[in-house]
A and B are shown apart, each in its own frame.
Chain A
Amino acid sequence: MSNDTSQVLQQQVVAAMEQDIPLQIVGGNSKAFYGRNIGNKETLSVHSHSGILTYEPTELVLTARAGTLLREIEKTLHENNQMLGFEPPAFGDRATLGGTIAGNFSGPRRAYAGAARDFVLGCKLLNGKGEILSFGGEVMKNVAGYDISRLMVGGLGTLGVLLDVSLKVLPKPDVEKTRVIECHADEALQKMHHWAGRPLPISATCFYRSQLMVRLSGAEKAVKAAADVIGGDDLPQGDTFWRDVKEQKLTFFQTQKPVWRLSVASDTAPFMLEDESLYEWGGALRWLVSEMPHEVVRNSVADGHACVFRNHAGQGDVFQALSPGLMRIHQQLKKAFDPKGILNPGKLYAEF
């Protein structure tokens, strides 16, 4: 499926700007739960702007339109023994590339290979003035002009509507193996830090209910040797486990309570909070199911980022508050891209 609807999208944005009509940007609508609730707005539908534009396996680069389904991209890469290095969660069959990048959605491999933002090489976007702009490109190194492509990642469409995105892709590892070790949280953190300081081919870690899971990826002999260093036992069907972590299929995530995503210093001590938690990224990502007051959770992540990932139910804010200075910069940047504030207004913060 390949279809260029950029002109239609542009016309809709121009009309919205002229009439001061706020728009909500929608791709596959697989992640509507994420971000602040901005009520009913006119929809700017990006999903039909789709298709892989270029893919050169030996250049390690893929460019696709924002509405391209994530699973189509992953299938194409798989056929060439390659993958998206940031292992993005899809949260449904309809997930698109645009939404994945706009939210900087990155999976278990993130701490070891990089986040979505680390793999973005370039983009074409539609700003709030209805201008179609191209930044970056399809090369690995490019320092001409400000890095607007990466600025878009995680902006939830508030600075611009992604039209096309170029990504660096990676070869698939020859072999992957998952080990499981029974231990307590403190011990798990200690082990993850011990290994992280050594050259081991670790590509994912997860601690949940007294079990530490460690994925090793790479050349066959290297994985085998590392498995001996790590210890523990082989986890059969490791692939299924990591897919369930990534897609939040584990029972941990099956809840109506708020699910917090805490980005913290990796050696942060296990929370005193009573509620259940799941660790990833060598301890740098903590998922927490908790109905504690927001301030209590937010205050527990010194210089980190606590976000109500799911089930925020409109109470309190979703993302960690910005310092007054950073908020001012954010508002000025928003104006620089979207002077009338029509693109997903309020999706990140109430102020813009």
Chain B
Amino acid sequence: MLSRIGPALKSQSAIKMTNHVHDETSDIDIDINKMSFVSALKKIIPSTDILHEREDLHPYECDGLSAYRQIPWVVVLPSTVDQVQRVLGLCQQHKVPVVARGAGTGLSGGALPHQQGVLLSLAKFKQILHIDAKRRIAQVQPGVRNLAISQAADQYGLYYAPDPSSQIACTIGGNVAENSGGVHCLKYGLTVHNIQQLKIVTIEGELLSIGGNGLDAAGYDLLALMTGSEGMLGVIVEVTVKLLPKPERAQVMLAAYDDVQKACEAVSNIIAAGVIPAGLEMMDKLAISAAEDFAHAGYPLDAEAILLCELDGTNEEVSEHIAKVRSILLSSGATSVHTAKDEAERLTFWRGRKAAFPAVGRISPDYYCMDGTIPRKQLPKVLKTIAQWSQHYDLRVANVFHAGDGNLHPLILYDANKPGELERTEAFGGKILELCVAVGGTITGEHGVGMEKINQMCVQFARLELSQFHAIKAAFDPQGLLNPGKAVPTLHRCAEFGAMHIHQGQLPFPELERF
């Protein structure tokens, strides 16, 4: 799914970002020319799996964040772990940067190529190596698609729980690198909660096994450290995921509200009643109308907000919880509550939510998807401020929200062909992320920092924390060759960003309310 779409390639932005990458990595000093490097690669990998002509490199110039583009130096498509080890060893020997890539569906530019680096595609690692129904695990190669795991496990009555919206296309290696979430996180957790073992290759070309057969492994929790590390610490070449039994029954309720505040209260009341829904999603008026127009899910167009609340478990449990939640939704002021009458209607209710992004793409030439997470109680305040800023920046916002776990996805609508709109959008988006930090949240709940939120990392973390991140990076990759310039900004960059922020002692938009 594209977070920014539109026919116009934002060349201005692309050039800007290309320069950023270059700035960040100016200390990398490749000691080999391209043709010699390609010759060396050919001793490791068949030449058909090495791309270095400009026309072959274009398909790899961006990931799901298409506003940021960079033609890679060389693309390598290994098909064995041994090849990955030898390619990384060669890169380390010649100080060549390496950017790993799965399906390229990431939304933060994490797989944006390096202009002097190898783009290491793991697309050929597509094998589901083993499903052990008894142990409830699947051992898979990193290029296996998220949904393919659940499909393969289905015959055993099992599934893989994390379900990012791109699950048809995104790969498990990328899911681990980004610690992907989905709509069922509140109950079933993120990727980090659902994996048991990883095999990674270090920049030295060494194969390491992390985690184990049991639930706990010896030593530090490197499984947690690797998950969400955005390709900065090692290249994932195998993943063992945990599988869960498919719930006996899943049921969804659709509640409409004439006030966003009331919908927020309903969410808190459900949690307070001791129910953890499998999914709890909120959409605001603009998102509802876009989704309804596109997917015909039966959403009430006059509502200010809707809640989708899914309950799963055993038949008895779902029945008990449906009754409980229904009464909570009504007593919280819902103007209507519909329980899907059958599986077909349940899927229809979800279709609108799942189509929200492309639906918004139809009502605007471009949109920009944010990913901040906030404590849920701050939601009314944050939505109100976003609405105010929306007027100031003269840009519409549709809000889609994983309400259960506080993960916001405001979609800023813009038109890249109108001069200045992209810049205004980026400024607006940056303000939203800073607001999330200010109310006790974070700049990214599930999409990752990548290239996109690198400046906001300076807002989220102070100098000491960033230095600790750099020290961890150096523990794995002292030369800084893995995905350079992403995920963790240099202190120098933050100093410049900070200076820009308080330009002439004044924050941008000083007239706006801040908290």
A binding-site residues for B, Cβ under 8 Å: 56-61, 81, 104, 110-111, 114-115, 117-118, 127, 131-135, 137-148, 150-151, 153-155, 159, 170-172, 174, 193, 196-201, 218-222, 224-226, 262-267, 281, 284-285, 301-305, 307, 319-323, 325-326, 329-330, 332-333, 335-337, 348-349
Contact = CB atoms under 8 A, between A and B. Distances in A.
Given A134-B465, A138-B440, A263-B212, A147 B271 contact: no
Contacts of B321: 219
A222 B313 contact: yes
Contact of A337 (B185, B208, B471): B471
Given A199-B245, A199-B314, A219-B316, A57 B272 contact: yes
Contacts of A281: 215
B446 A174 contact: no
Contact of B465 (A145, A172, A285, A337): A145
A147 B178 CA distance: 11
B376 A148 contact: no
A138 B468 CA distance: 20
Contacts of B136: 196-197
B317 A146 contact: no
Contact of A302 (B186, B213, B402, B443): B213
Interface in B213-258: 213-222, 224-225, 227-229, 232-233, 245-248
B469 interface: yes
Contact of A58 (B219, B376, B445): B376
A37 B268 CA distance: 47
A154 B223 CA distance: 12
A195 B225 CA distance: 32
Interface in B298-353: 313-317, 319-321
B405 A140 contact: yes
A129 B283 CA distance: 46
Contact of A151 (B181, B220, B269, B275): B220
Interface of B: 133-136, 156-158, 178-179, 181, 185-186, 189-190, 192-193, 202, 206-210, 212-222, 224-225, 227-229, 232-233, 245-248, 268-269, 271-272, 274-276, 313-317, 319-321, 373-377, 402, 404-407, 440-449, 453, 457, 460-461, 464-465, 468-469, 471-472, 474-476, 487-488
Contacts of B224: 117, 147, 150-151, 153
Contacts of B202: 325
Contacts, number: 266
Which of A145, A304, A323 has the most C-beta atoms of chain B within 10 angstroms of its own C-beta?
A145
12 contacts: A118-B193, A140-B404, A141-B406, A142-B445, A144-B443, A144-B457, A147-B224, A148-B468, A154-B221, A197-B136, A197-B157, A307-B218
Contacts of B377: 56, 58-59
Contacts of A198: 157, 245
Contacts of B453: 144
A118 B179 CA distance: 13
A221 B214 contact: no
Given A144-B460, A151-B225, A219 B157 contact: no
Given A196-B245, A305-B216, A144 B444 contact: yes
Contacts of A267: 134-135
- In the A-B complex, the 8 residue pairs with the smallest Cβ-Cβ separation, listed nearest first, are A263-B214, A150-B224, A171-B274, A141-B445, A222-B317, A221-B316, A332-B475, A336-B471
Contacts of B178: 143
Given A146-B488, A302-B213, 20 more contacts: A117-B221, A137-B441, A137-B442, A138-B440, A140-B405, A141-B185, A143-B447, A143-B448, A147-B224, A153-B224, A198-B157, A218-B317, A266-B135, A301-B213, A305-B212, A305-B217, A325-B207, A325-B208, A326-B210, A326-B222
